[in-house]
Amino acid sequence: MSEPAASTGADQEPGREGHALRDLLTTGLDAFRTRLDLAAVELELHLLALARMLVWAVAAIVCGLLALAFGVTAMIAALWDTHRSLGLIVGTVLFIALAVTFGLVGLRVYRGQTGILSGSLEQLDEDYKSVGAGQ
């Protein structure tokens, strides 16, 4: 009669361990998925900021090249005996100002960026601290 009681006690222990292990694995996978989703969002934000920075950099380069072209044209026109060079010099100054403005905006965007995946790494650090505190 004592045999059935012993078998039910032995059957319950492995079942509980298997269930706890499955719950632990499920929780770990859920946490991993959450961290992976966060990393994907952070990566997307960094890619958008990079694209924006590249647009400003290209605008600065184009304006710089146009300013150089206007400057050369202004020097050539300055050799003539009329006031045609005034418009070219104004155009040169305008494009130099635009190139500097675009360059500064691009620099501000670049400096405002955080490290890539920094939020995910912070979350992982918090996970490690909470696991260490739980022991």
Residue 42 confidence (pLDDT)? 83
pLDDT in tens, 31-82: 888 888 888 888 888 889 889 989 998 998 888 888 888 887 777 777 677 6
Cα 61 to Cα 53, 56, 93, 109, distances in angstroms: 12, 9, 15, 16
Q: What is the pTM of this model?
A: 0.50
DSSP per residue, 63-85: HHHHHHHHHHHHHHHHTSSSSTH
